[in-house]
């Protein structure tokens, strides 16, 4: 399998806090990687560096042999728009827009016409079993429904890599697992790789591989065993 | 190419959609933005109309002046002559006037606003005067208007809807010495502005515009943190910098355009209201408020540019950090030095124009200096506030909540308060300028402090003067009344001060001043107020008339006895002679018949009764009261009123802005308030915290504005050689208004706070 | 729970009398179930037989309680192997894992390594179960979920222990 996304020796500090000290990991096409570790260990920071949202202080992130930090902002944005997808714990939907408009948003940013974008958004919403609340707004639905919509939005552009940061953190285990199953199945279908930050071993158990972050350092546990 | 264009429009329309979308919350936000920008636009349009207001005011007052045009007395075929004389009267502290008219023929020239000229015993009134006479407080005035009302003045003959004005018909005999007029109106002229006045106008308009601009910028950025989050979410899913900018541009453009429309509506509606309400004695026709087309165009261009521009500038941080979704990074503390630059530059400019250093103060530089200081104030204020907020430790929980919240999201309210402070500072400076120029326009040295109770009036002949004096003597509020005549005479050339010739029989002379022995044929001489005796050798000749029929003169007789100055005479006049009628002889052509009145204690009712007794066409003059006369004075009054109205309007706009911010704040923090109240924080604590949050910036801002305004006034007035005066009353009033605005904003947000605290606040993304 | 490995681990810090060994064991691992002398001596004699310990000296008076035992090279190797091999993930492992961690700490070995390899083992098991769950019917799913929740609890315990290793090091050495 080809290495899609490779991070080597990442370091990132926020003022006096060293969020990442020496983190390396790779993501292969179509695989599902779980990132685990204690709170504050730097998981989210690692994810943001991988996705090109944060610029690491040291180290490199390459996507398909292109160095992310060397790209101009517009190119990185285009990458986020076309090749990456994001699902976070909350706060990622635009509260002013309906669910349908939210899902169609990345497509429209990519230049798709409104009607077309909303048609294909509807397909994804149906797939995630939230087609019936398409015209509601984020304030008007449950957390689980909102999360499914977020997944639909992340998948709508058929990304190559899907980044998820504690996507089920606020949901009960049954609902959490439902959302995850839908996410993983859809990712399998489109061949997207998934990088999943989670605290829950049961969630991590869905992954093919696990990366543990401790105090800003990664350990590829597979190698230790 | 077309594809790129389409995507451009796509982004812009997405922005518009974002501005409009989103249920009640964003509808409320959009409404506030609309109101905010709308108020700003309306204020700007009003300011752009100042010229037209002054102009039409001036034009109409000039158009009704009778017989003053250079060729007005040249007969015009088919037009019969019109005789007129201006009259003034005073009622309840208001001075107003009209014309006595006598039309000699059937085709007199047209007087603007008058349908049919009043015949003797008739009168035409302005609507405001008619209403005043019909109202209860007008009953006192009624006896002065016994004439039959035959018409109501039309708009074209009045300076404004609230002007008291009249045309009263009289007999030809009541208009002695007037010449016939064949035309009415004086050709329009440019308004006269003296230098201080014109710099005043410029500074005043800048002062009024700054808060409006700041306000537009502030409202355009309402709920910036919510928007930052939204945009960060967009960035996260791959909107690039250009796209986000276009989306933001679309979003704020939508607000600005809706605001423009609302502003025009406000303006038009407000203009119609102007006719029916009278603020501060302002009397303006709504139809006179016409923005100059160029300025209006400028407003329409500048407002969207400001709105979009500030939104884009505010975007910098979000663009760098698309992570705003997950966490708000801490801002770097504000830096002081570059914020201080405009103020320092302004102060340097003004100090350089100090009258000791520059030979001639340059108005342009002074104005630039003032603008720099006023622009600098809102820039320094956030720094000051931030310092204070950071310093604050301890205090009750509500205080702490307010401080921390301000530390985290102070932005919007600080910006509004900045505008507020600039307005206050400018207002204080303008007030000081107004007061200072006030003393230029009213010659204070001319107003003596004594003899406030001495008044006089004129009558047609000696006999009626004598009778009037008799009647007045019996009235309450009158201590003494004397009638006498004054002779108009050419002064002998060798005198440097005027010498007045007063003619009255002995009993009347005794009323004027103590005289032991008085017989017909006697002549007495009194000195100037400072005691100097005029150099009048016997035989000095006073020329009484140079009429072609024959020169008439009067020679001073041999025997002239010195006496004390008459206590009844106008204090500013010079030395004079008291002459018994026998000493004058017959045939003195030009006698002025006077009745002097010494009033009792200050009694407005008695005063009005006296005026009524004297009648409409004869004014009661006071020696100790100045009345506005000069052209410049009239403009000045109009400007001063406009400035007052303008600063009140701008203050209202600023208060509205504060309210908007407070509302938006509660709306936006709904969730936090709900959470806090759910954890048991009592309502009163939260309410207090909202009050603190509104009050602290305003109090700090007002303090800074006071210091800045007084400093500014001192600096500006230093550029002119006039003693400085500060309008402490107005300053106190504006301060009180600021406090009131805070309280109002807080009180009005409380219901919303209550609603937020009911758990519904917990249920939002 | 292997008493033999525990005694070996305790001996690694230095030779001890049998009586001492029992006391040391009870202190650290035997809170609810102290060892009987019989268990100690039978285990020690098994270790002697396998050459993992040797008698270091005998004090006057004879009797088993007077012997001093010491660990051999072979014993150290055995301990290494034991600590390095993750336990088969199954419920109620905490006694063994705890002993392993404490002994690793006492002997200066990497306790983190012990925990890491164990959690990898647990996750491997969980992944297998998750896969089975995905393919199986409802009964299968419920059974798997039961096991998964138990394993998850253990894993959480492992994580918690890993986070508190420094405290544990102070207590156990
Ligand atoms: N923007 C920031 N400013 C300051 N410190 C930050 C910032 N982002 C992260 N940190 C710090 O970096 C460290 C790692 O943060 P990160 O969010 O990556 O942890 P995490 O592993 O995702 O934790 P959690 O499981 O609780 O989400 C933390 O100590 C955090 O406080
Ligand atoms: Mg995190």
Q: pLDDT for B503-513, tens place per residue?
A: 888 888 887 78
Task: Give the integer Cα–Cα distance in Å for B215 and A91.
Answer: 30
| List of chain A residues with pLDDT < 70 | 1, 90-91, 220-225
Closest CA to B430 of B211, B632, B600: B211
E strand or H helix that includes residue B125: strand B122-125
Token output for B45: 């349009």
Contacts of B98 (CB under 8 A, 6+ apart): B86, B87, B165, B166, B167, B168
Q: Which residue's structure tokens are 């015209």?
A: A135
Q: Is the pLDDT of residue B627 over 90?
A: no
Task: Please answer yes or no on whether B22 and A146 come within 8 Å at the CB atom.
Answer: no
A51: helix, strand or coil: coil
Cα B326 to ligand 2 centre (Å): 9
Q: Is the pLDDT of residue C59 over 80?
A: no
Residue B723 DSSP label: -
Contacts of B742 (CB under 8 A, 6+ apart): B658, B691, B694, B695, B698
Cα–Cα separations (whole angstroms), residue C124 to A28, A38, B31: 19, 20, 58
Which of A13, A17, A35 for a ligand 1 pocket mutation test, highest count of atoms within 8 Å of Cβ?
Answer: A17
pLDDT at A46: 92
Which of A44, A53, A203 for a ligand 1 pocket mutation test, highest count of atoms within 8 Å of Cβ?
Answer: A44
Mind listing the pLDDT tens digit for each residue in B67-118? Answer: 777 777 788 888 898 988 888 777 776 778 888 889 888 888 888 888 889 9
In terms of pLDDT, which residue wins out, B539 or A186? A186
How many helices (DSSP H) and strands (DSSP E) are in chain A? Answer: 8, 10
pLDDT at B454: 73
Token output for A208: 């093919």
Task: Please answer yes or no on whether A212 and C116 come within 8 Å at the CB atom.
Answer: yes
Token output for A3: 């290495």
Average pLDDT over residues B8-17: 79
Task: Give the integer Cα–Cα distance in Å for B432 and C64.
Answer: 109
Average pLDDT over residues B488-494: 72
Q: Which of C116, C127, C159 sits opposite A221 (nearest CB)?
A: C116
> E strands along B30-117, which residues?
82-91, 94-103
CB B193, CB B201: distance < 8 Å? yes
pLDDT at B311: 77
pLDDT confidence band for B740 (50 / 70 / 90): confident
Cα A27 to ligand 1 centre (Å): 22
Count of CB atoms within 10 A of residue B18's CB?
Answer: 23
Task: Please answer yes or no on whether B325 and A105 come within 8 Å at the CB atom.
Answer: no
C70: helix, strand or coil: strand
Token output for B658: 């504060």
E strand or H helix that includes residue A34: strand A32-36
In terms of pLDDT, which residue wins out, A175 or B317? A175
pLDDT at A17: 87
pLDDT at B375: 80
Token output for B387: 């310092």
Residue percentage of chain B with pLDDT more than 70: 72
Token output for B424: 């206050």
Domain extents in chain B:
3-56+192-444+631-762, 66-174, 454-622
Q: Is the pLDDT of residue B486 over 60?
A: yes
> How many CA atoms lie less than 13 Å away from B274 in the CB half-sphere?
23
Q: Which residues of A touch B764 (CB under 8 A)?
A: 95, 139
Average pLDDT over residues B270-277: 76
Closest CA to C1 of C23, C30, C24, C22: C30
Q: Select, from the ranges B16-30, B359-373, B405-419, C86-100, the one with the highest average predicted confidence (pLDDT).
A: C86-100
pLDDT confidence band for B334 (50 / 70 / 90): low
CB B379, CB B725: distance < 8 Å? no
Q: Which residues of B touch A48 (CB under 8 A)?
A: 323
Task: Give the integer Cα–Cα distance in Å for B207 and B307.
Answer: 20
For chain B, give the mean pLDDT: 75
pLDDT at A14: 86
Token output for B269: 């509606």
Cα–Cα separations (whole angstroms), residue B740 to B222, B416, B733, B746, B747: 22, 16, 10, 10, 10
Residue percentage of chain C with pLDDT more than 90: 1
Q: Is the pLDDT of residue B551 over 80?
A: no
pLDDT at A196: 93
Nearest CA-CA distance, residue B764 and chain A, Å:
5
pLDDT at B358: 43
Q: Is the pLDDT of residue C61 over 70?
A: no
Count of CB atoms within 10 A of residue B331's CB?
Answer: 12
B103: helix, strand or coil: strand
Task: Please answer yes or no on whether C152 and A222 come within 8 Å at the CB atom.
Answer: no
ipTM of the complex: 0.80
Average pLDDT over residues B243-256: 84
Cα–Cα separations (whole angstroms), residue C110 to B332, B469, C166: 43, 123, 12
Q: Which residues of B touch A54 (CB under 8 A)?
A: 323
Cα A44 to ligand 2 centre (Å): 4
Q: Which residues of A touch C116 (CB under 8 A)?
A: 212, 219, 221, 224
Sign of CA dihedral B680, B685, B687, B693: negative
CB C161, CB C101: distance < 8 Å? yes
Which range, of A47-56, B118-127, B215-224, C12-21, averages the lowest pLDDT? B215-224
Count of residues for chain C?
Answer: 173
CA angle B93, B444, B490 (to 5 degrees): 95
In terms of pLDDT, which residue wins out, B570 or B45? B45
Which of B324, B329, B330, B332 for a ligand 1 pocket mutation test, highest count of atoms within 8 Å of Cβ?
Answer: B329
Protein residues with CB under 6 Å of any ligand 1 atom: A 14-15, 17, 19, 37, 39-45; B 327, 329
Does an interface of 3+ CB pairs under 8 Å exist between B and C? no
B84: helix, strand or coil: strand
pLDDT at B518: 83
B554: helix, strand or coil: strand
pLDDT at B761: 52
Mind listing the pLDDT tens digit for each residue in B699-730? Answer: 888 888 888 888 887 777 766 555 556 667 66
Q: Is the pLDDT of residue B408 over 80?
A: no
pLDDT confidence band for C136 (50 / 70 / 90): confident
Which range, of B71-85, B310-324, B628-642, averages the lowest pLDDT? B628-642
């Amino acid at each position: 399998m080809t290495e899609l996304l490779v991070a080597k020796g990442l370091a990132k500090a926020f003022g006096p806090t060293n969020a990442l000290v020496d983190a390396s990991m790779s993501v292969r096409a179509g695989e599902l990687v779980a990132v685990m570790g204690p709170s504050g260990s730097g998981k989210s920071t690692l994810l943001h560096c991988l996705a090109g949202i944060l610029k690491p202080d040291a180290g490199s992130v390459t996507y398909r042999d292109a160095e992310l930090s060397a790209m101009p902002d517009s190119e990185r944005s285009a990458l986020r728009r076309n090749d990456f997808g994001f699902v976070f714990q909350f706060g990622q939907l635009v509260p002013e827009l309906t669910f349908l408009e939210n899902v169609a948003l990345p497509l429209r940013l990519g230049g798709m016409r409104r009607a077309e974008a909303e048609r294909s958004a509807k397909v994804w919403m149906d797939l995630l079993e939230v087609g019936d609340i398409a015209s509601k707004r984020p304030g008007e639905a449950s957390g689980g429904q909102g999360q499914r919509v977020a997944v639909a939005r992340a998948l709508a552009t058929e990304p190559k890599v899907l980044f998820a940061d504690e996507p089920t953190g606020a949901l009960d285990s049954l609902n959490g697992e439902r959302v995850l199953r839908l996410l993983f199945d859809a990712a399998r279908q489109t061949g997207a790789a998934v990088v999943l930050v989670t605290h829950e071993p049961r969630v991590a158990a869905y992954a093919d591989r696990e990366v543990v972050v401790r105090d800003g350092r990664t350990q590829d546990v597979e190698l230790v065993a | 190419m077309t594809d790129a264009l389409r995507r451009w429009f796509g982004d812009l329309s997405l922005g518009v959609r974002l501005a409009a979308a989103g249920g009640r919350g964003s509808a409320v936000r959009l409404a506030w933005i609309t109101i905010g920008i709308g108020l700003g636009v309306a204020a700007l349009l009003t300011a752009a109309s100042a010229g037209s207001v002054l102009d039409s005011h001036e034009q109409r007052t000039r158009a009704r002046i009778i017989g003053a045009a250079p060729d007005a007395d040249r007969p015009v075929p088919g037009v019969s002559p019109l005789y007129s004389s201006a009259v003034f009267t005073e009622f309840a502290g208001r001075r107003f006037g009209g014309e006595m008219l006598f039309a000699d023929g059937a085709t007199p020239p047209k007087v603007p606003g008058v349908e049919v000229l009043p015949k003797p015993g008739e009168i035409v009134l302005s609507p405001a005067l008619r209403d005043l006479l019909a109202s209860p407080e007008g009953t006192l005035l009624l006896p002065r208007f016994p004439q039959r009302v035959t018409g109501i003045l039309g708009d074209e003959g009045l300076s404004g809807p609230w002007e008291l004005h009249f045309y009263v018909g009289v007999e030809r005999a009541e208009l002695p010495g007037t010449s016939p007029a064949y035309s009415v109106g004086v050709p329009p002229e440019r308004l006269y502005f003296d230098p201080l006045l014109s710099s005043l106008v410029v500074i005043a308009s800048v002062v009024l515009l700054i808060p409006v601009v700041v306000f537009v910028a502030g409202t355009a950025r309402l709920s910036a943190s919510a928007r930052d989050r939204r945009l960060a979410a967009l960035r996260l899913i791959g909107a690039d910098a250009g796209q986000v900018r276009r989306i933001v541009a679309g979003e704020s453009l939508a607000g600005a355009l809706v605001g423009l429309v609302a502003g025009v509506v406000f303006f038009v509606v407000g203009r119609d209201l102007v006719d029916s309400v009278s603020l501060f004695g302002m009397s303006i026709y709504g139809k006179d408020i016409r923005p100059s087309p160029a300025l209006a165009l400028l407003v329409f261009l500048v407002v969207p540019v400001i709105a979009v521009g500030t939104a884009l500038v505010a975007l910098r941080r979000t663009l760098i950090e698309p992570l705003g979704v997950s966490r708000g990074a801490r801002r770097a503390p504000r830096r002081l030095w570059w914020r201080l630059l405009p103020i320092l530059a302004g102060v340097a400019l003004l100090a350089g124009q100090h009258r000791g250093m520059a030979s001639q103060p340059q108005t342009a530089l002074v104005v630039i200096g003032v603008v720099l200081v006023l622009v600098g104030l809102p820039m320094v204020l956030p720094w000051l506030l931030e310092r204070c907020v950071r310093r604050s430790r301890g205090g009750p929980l509500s205080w702490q909540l307010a401080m921390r919240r301000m530390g985290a999201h102070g932005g919007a309210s600080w910006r509004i308060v900045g505008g507020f402070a600039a307005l206050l500072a400018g207002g204080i400076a303008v007030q000081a300028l107004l007061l200072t120029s006030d003393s230029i326009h009213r010659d204070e040295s001319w107003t003596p402090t004594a003899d406030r109770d001495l008044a006089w009036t004129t009558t047609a002949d000696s006999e009626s003067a004598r009778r009037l004096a008799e009647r007045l003597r019996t009235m309450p509020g009158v201590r003494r009344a004397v009638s006498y005549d004054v002779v108009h005479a050419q002064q002998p050339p060798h005198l440097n001060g005027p010498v007045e010739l007063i003619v009255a029989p002995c009993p009347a002379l005794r009323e004027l001043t103590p005289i032991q022995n008085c017989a017909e044929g006697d002549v007495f001489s009194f000195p100037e107020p400072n005691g100097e005796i005029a150099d009048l050798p016997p035989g000095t000749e006073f020329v009484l008339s140079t009429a072609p029929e024959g020169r008439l003169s009067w020679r001073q007789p041999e025997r002239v006895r010195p006496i004390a100055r008459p206590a009844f005479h106008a204090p500013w006049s010079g030395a004079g002679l008291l002459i018994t009628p026998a000493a004058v002889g017959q045939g003195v052509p030009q006698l002025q018949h006077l009745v002097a009145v010494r009033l009792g204690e200050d009694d407005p009712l008695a005063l009005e009764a006296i005026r009524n007794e004297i009648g409409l066409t004869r004014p009661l003059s006071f020696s100790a009261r100045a009345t506005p006369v000069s052209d410049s004075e009239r403009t000045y009054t109009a400007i001063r009123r406009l400035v007052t109205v303008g600063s009140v309007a701008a203050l209202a706009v600023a208060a509205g802005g504060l309210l908007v911010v407070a509302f938006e704040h509660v709306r936006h923090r709904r969730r936090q308030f709900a959470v806090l109240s759910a954890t048991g924080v009592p309502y009163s604590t939260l309410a207090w915290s909202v009050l603190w949050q509104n009050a602290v910036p305003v109090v700090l801002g007002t303090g800074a504005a006071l210091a800045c305004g007084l400093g500014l006034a001192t600096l500006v007035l230093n550029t002119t050689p006039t003693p400085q005066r500060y309008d402490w009353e107005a300053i106190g009033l504006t301060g009180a208004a600021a406090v009131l605005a805070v309280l109002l904003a807080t009180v009005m947000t409380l219901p919303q706070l209550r609603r937020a605290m009911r758990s519904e606040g917990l249920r939002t993304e | 729970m292997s008493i033999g490995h525990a005694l070996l681990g305790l001996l690694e810090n230095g030779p001890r009398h049998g009586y001492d060994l029992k006391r040391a064991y009870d202190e650290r691992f035997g809170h609810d179930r102290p060892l009987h002398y019989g268990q100690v001596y039978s285990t020690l004699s098994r270790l002697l037989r396998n050459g993992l310990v040797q008698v270091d000296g005998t004090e006057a008076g004879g009797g088993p309680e007077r012997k001093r035992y010491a660990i051999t090279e072979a014993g150290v190797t055995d301990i290494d192997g034991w600590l390095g091999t993750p336990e088969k993930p199954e419920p109620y492992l905490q006694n063994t894992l705890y002993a392993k961690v404490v002994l690793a700490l006492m002997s200066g070995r990497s306790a983190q390594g012990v925990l890491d390899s164990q959690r990898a083992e647990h996750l491997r098991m969980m992944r297998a179960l998750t896969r089975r769950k995905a393919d199986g019917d409802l009964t299968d799913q419920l059974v798997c979920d039961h096991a998964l929740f138990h394993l998850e609890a253990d894993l959480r315990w492992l994580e918690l222990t890993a986070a508190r290793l420094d405290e544990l090091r102070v207590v156990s050495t």
